[in-house]
Amino acid sequence: MDSDDPAGTDGDTRRRAIETELRRIEESAMYSAQCQFEETKRWRAVHLLLGVPATLLAAVAGTTALVESTGRTAAGILALIASGLGAVLTTVNAPQRTAQAAASANAYLEIQTAARQHREIDLAHWTPDEARRALTELTARRDEQNAKAEVPSRRAYRRAQANLRAGSQRYAVDGDG
| Average pLDDT of every residue of the chain | 87
pTM beyond 0.85: the answer is no
Per-residue pLDDT, 1: 43
Average pLDDT on 58-67 reads 77
Question: Which pLDDT band holds residue 69 (cuts at 50, 70, 90)?
Answer: low
| Banded pLDDT at 8 (limits 50, 70, 90) | low
- C-alpha pair distances (Å), 59 with each of 36, 62, 89, 94: 34, 5, 17, 22
State how far the Cα of 32 lies from the Cα of 64, in Å rounded to an integer.
Answer: 48
Whether the pLDDT of residue 89 is over 60: the answer is yes
Would you mind telling me the total number of residues written for the chain in this entry?
177
Mean pLDDT within 42-66? 82
Full DSSP string of 81-123: HHHHHHHHHHHHTHHHHHHHHHHHHHHHHHHHHHHHHIIIIIG
